[in-house]
Structure 1
Amino acid sequence: MNDALNWKPAGTPKAEPIEGRFISLEKLDPARHGNDLWEVLQGPGSDPALWDYLPYGPFAGRASFDRWLEGNAASRDPLFYSVIDRANGQVQGILSYMSIVPEHGRFEIGHIAFGAAMQRTPKGTEAVYLLSKLGFELGNRRLEWKCNDANARSKRAAERFGFVFEGVFRNHMVVKDRNRDTTWYSITDTEWPTVAAGFERWLSEENQQPEGQVRTLEACRVG
């Protein structure tokens, strides 16, 4: 952790492409990514529970979906990335940096919408790892994860990724005309090296075998 007397603000992400083993991340571009995203997020094979806890969607038609993508692409906070499967070039999801506060060294990963083809594969985990890694390399001290307290999938993902539970903000928001209690998690810069090593072990060729993962992500964090 940076000493308080020597603290300097973190850098800000520039949305440059990021290459991983299974996926690559590119700044959201509706013209290039829109058709794939419409198919994976709204098509016949899409996850019916995808929009349950997001503040938008599902969309009634392609025009409203495209307007949503265009608004996201124009934003700098949140800063949206598309997730591209390196094996076939298909765009299979989006996620973003958000709550970017460089003067305090704080950022969040959110607005996660992964298509069914990303779920139960290494691709979603690698996307979160790559954004986390860049955020800490930019000098941040704190990575946040927030979700609806009723969203069991998101809470399980946060714990699996190595985030530490911090508490619940009761009656925090009204989303889609319903109360939202918000659960907070974080990873600090002192915790990140251990968490990062676990991600790297789990994503390694040695651990990712055709028949499935040899070790869980939680097990990889403890060596």
Structure 2
Amino acid sequence: MPEINQHGQTVNDPVPDWNGARVLTRTPLAGRYCRLEPLNTERHAADLFDVYSLGDDSDWTWLASTQPMSVEATAHWVQGKVMDDALVPYAVIDLRSERAVGLVSYMAIERQQGSVEIGHVTWSRRMKGSRLGTETVWLLLKNAFAHGYRRVEWKCDSMNVASRSAAERLGFVWEGRLRQKLVRKGRNRDSDMLSIIDGEWDARDAELRGWLAEENFDGEGRQIQRLEAFR
């Protein structure tokens, strides 16, 4: 609770014994439907090229990159993320096929402040609308809060209504819009900011676990209850 200090000023909640969050390492994260593997160019580039080829460049409108048009171009793009020490990048592995079907990273990692962003979210059409995207984000959230992070962020182009809606479905709270944050692909980008903080995590965790439970899906993999029903 906020307090009154010795000067009669209202100050915010104390954070006792805060020493920062722990390092997020490039280690696998295992779920029921997918596994997050540390991104590797040799293992994952060809699979990612194949699944991204199922779509077209409309899937990349709001991303910094454009759709890679060859295995070599995909490998170059993946290698850039692998070599970026500011990222903890993952390939999303569909356990049914044991093939990579998407990519995601931890980024904007601020250990001393306990803040991290889930970014570089590049789902293929094999992931969109499936359990895999939800479980991927749940695995990343669970891992971040287990490492002592106080805040997990999600940012998206204000025009990317689908991304903001997906984040809000998962329990991220809209905080506002950063106007003229970037110039991307020659256009202005206003960035919508959302987050989940540690005090909200137990409730979000229970909701996501409930939705991801095997009994919430029929034999064709279709959800029985929407995630909102677990709220």
TM-score interval, normalised by the smaller of the two chains = over 0.9
Show the counterpart of 1:182. 191
Read off the aligned partner of 2:126 and give its amino acid letter: A
Change (3 A) 1:76 1:210: farther
| Corresponding residue to 2:67 among 44, 54, 58 | 58
Could you say which residue in structure 1 is the equivalent of 2:77? 68
Q: Tell me which amino acid in the other structure corresponds to 2:198.
A: D
For residues 78 and 179 of structure 1, the distance between their equivalents in structure 2, rounded to whole angstroms, comes to 25
SS of alignment partner, residue 174 of structure 2: strand
Secondary structure, in 3 states, of the residue corresponding to 2:126?
helix
1:166 to 2:168 alignment: no
Listed as ranges, the matches of 1:73-112 within 5 Å are 73-112=82-121
Q: Provide the rounded CA distance (Å) in 1 between the counterparts of 2:133 and 2:57.
A: 18
Is 1:131 the counterpart of 2:131 in the alignment? Answer: no
**Is the Cα–Cα contact under 8 Å of residues 46 and 74 in structure 2 kept in the other structure?**
no
* Rounded Cα–Cα distance in structure 1 between residues aligned with 2:180 and 2:96: 43
Assess, with a 3 A threshold, how the Cα gap between structure 1 residues 88 and 59 changes in structure 2: closer, same or farther: closer
Aligned pairs for 1:43-54 within 5 A: 43=53, 45-54=54-63
- Counterparts of 2:56 and 2:138, CA distance in 1: 22
Q: TM-score, normalised by structure 1?
A: 0.94
SS in 1 for 2:214: coil
Cα distance in 2, alignment partners of residues 62 and 21 from structure 1: 29
Aligned-pair identity in percent equals 38
CA drift of 1:67 comes to 1.4
Per-residue CA deviations over 1:109-155 (Å, capped at 9, x if unaligned) read 01111111111110011001001100000001001000000001101
Could you say which residue in structure 2 is the equivalent of 1:146?
155
Using the size of structure 2 for normalisation, the TM-score is: 0.90
CA distance in 2 between counterparts of 1:71 and 1:99 reads: 16
- Indicate the RMSD between aligned Cα atoms, in angstroms: 1.6
Query: Contact 2:89–2:105 (CA<8 Å) still a contact in 1?
Result: yes
CA shift for structure 1 position 215: 1.3
Q: Which residue of 2 is the match for residue 39 of structure 1? A: 50
Structure 1 match to 2:10 = none
Residues 49, 70 of structure 2: 8 Å contact kept:
no
1:104 CA displacement: 0.5
Give yes or no for contact 1:47–1:116 (8 Å, CA) kept in 2.
Answer: no
Structure 1 spans left out of the alignment, 5+ residues = none
Residue in 1 that maps onto 2:229? 219
Which structure's CA Rg is the greater one? 2
